[in-house]
Amino acid sequence: MYQSYWNLKSGPFEEKMDASFFYDSNPHQAGLLKLEYLVENCKGAGLLVGGSGMGKSYLCHVLKSQLAEIYQPFVHLVFPQLSPIELISYLAVELGAEEAGIEPLVPGKDRIVRALHRQLQLLCEQGYKPVIVIDEAHLIVDQRIFETLHQLLNFQQTSDIDFTLLLVGDQLLLSHLQRSSQLDNRIAVRCLLKSFSAEETQSYVEHRLEVAGRSEPVFAAEAFQTLFELTQGNPRKINRLCDLGLLVGYADELSLITPDVLEAVAEELVTSIPD
């Protein structure tokens, strides 16, 4: 709606998995390097932890875009609240096994495990090294899932199978892993995503605007400190506040987004609408 007004080619603050908008802040660039090391050096299992809105899922998408073609299939499970047998079935199919006959409600867990094992073998024989991402893993309530994932990693002990398992979630995931010490001990790489600093917040906003095609300033210089104070450097909150700020600026025909605009937008976001 406001793109032409601000001379933008695309929406700079949309919640889309577009790797071209990746901003290499210190925590995010360090996290990406660790994840690339995990996958490319066949370290087995990794952990990516961060609060809500820190960009964990987005970083996984960026990782996928930067890996060589041999690191596929890239399975990204975003609904992990499954039973162990449902998890095995899902992974087997996503990795390329025939869906016919892999029905989690039909007795025969051994059959599904064999199908998963065969598919991993086949992929590795073809020169591929799959990546399995379990997103929102802090929402897993069935502790047997973590036991199943540990058993899945045992496949790696054979010389003809190689894949990466990445667990992604918030801080609660650390508590879950403490109760599953065997899986926790298999985690080779651990990444923690932190919020942006005030300087990174400004650079992040300017980077996204530049990628979207805007070369001239949009936010007043003093607005960036206000933006940081309102969002505490949380990328998702920054995106939402900046997006609405651009909309208000367009509606009011402003030349720059000022601190007052951001404060008004932030208040509107947290204020309940009266009856």
Q: Which CATH number goes with the domain that contains 124?
A: 3.40.50.300
Return the HEC string of the chain. Answer: CCCCCCCCCCCCCCCCCCHHHCCCCHHHHHHHHHHHHHHHCCCCEEEEEECCCCCHHHHHHHHHHHCCCCCCCEEEECCCCCCHHHHHHHHHHHCCCCCCCCCCCCCCHHHHHHHHHHHHHHHHHCCCCCEEEECCHHHCCCHHHHHHHHHHHHHHHCCCCCCEEEEEECCHHHHHHHCCHHHHCCEEEEEEECCCCHHHHHHHHHHHHHHCCCCCCCECCCHHHHHHHHHCCCHHHHHHHHHHHHHHHHHCCCCCECHHHHHHHHHHHHCCCCC
Domain count, the chain: 2
**How is residue 239 written in tokens?**
């995106």
Is residue 6, in this structure, part of any structural domain at all?
no
**pLDDT score recorded for residue 270:** 76
**How much is the pLDDT for 212?**
96
| Pair 46, 123 in one domain | yes
Token couple for 182: 């065997």
**Which of 151, 174, 193 corresponds to the end of one domain?**
193
The answer to whether position 9 is within a domain reads no
Q: Are residues 204 and 122 in the same domain?
A: no
pLDDT of residue 273: 47
In this structure, the answer to whether residues 107 and 206 fall within a common structural domain is no
pLDDT value at residue 15: 87
Query: In terms of domains, do 97 and 186 share one?
Result: yes
> 């869906």: which residue's tokens?
99
| pLDDT given at position 157 | 83
Pairing, β 74-77 against β 131-134: parallel
> Taking each helix axis from N to C terminus, what angle separates 259-270 and 223-231, rounded to the nearest 10 degrees?
20
Based on the fold, state whether residues 86 and 212 are members of the same structural domain.
no
Domain membership of residue 21 (yes or no) is no
* 159 and 220 co-located in one domain: no
- Look at residues 166, 193, 220 and tell me which one is the last residue of a structural domain: 193
In a domain? residue 7: no
φ/ψ of residue 137, rounded to 5? -65, -15
Q: Check whether residue 50 and residue 155 sit in a common domain.
A: yes
For residue 100, tell me if it sits in a domain. yes
Q: Are residues 159 and 243 in the same domain?
A: no
Q: Measured between alpha carbons, how far is 231 from 238 in angstroms, rounded to an integer?
A: 6
According to the model, what pLDDT value does residue 99 have? 80
Please indicate, yes or no, if residue 260 is contained in any of the structural domains.
yes
What pLDDT was estimated at residue 48? 98
Q: Provide the domain limits for residue 103.
A: 26-193
pLDDT for position 104: 54
- pLDDT tens, the chain, 275 aa long: 899 999 999 999 998 899 999 999 999 999 999 999 999 999 999 999 999 999 999 999 999 999 999 999 999 999 999 999 999 999 999 999 988 666 655 556 778 889 999 999 999 999 999 999 999 999 998 999 999 999 999 998 876 899 999 999 999 999 999 999 999 999 999 999 999 999 999 999 999 999 999 989 999 999 999 999 999 999 999 999 999 999 999 999 999 999 999 999 999 887 644 44
Q: Which residues contact 168 (CB under 8 A, 6 or more apart)?
A: 47, 48, 49, 56, 57, 60, 133, 134, 135, 136, 137
CA proximity to 60, closest of 215, 193, 242: 193
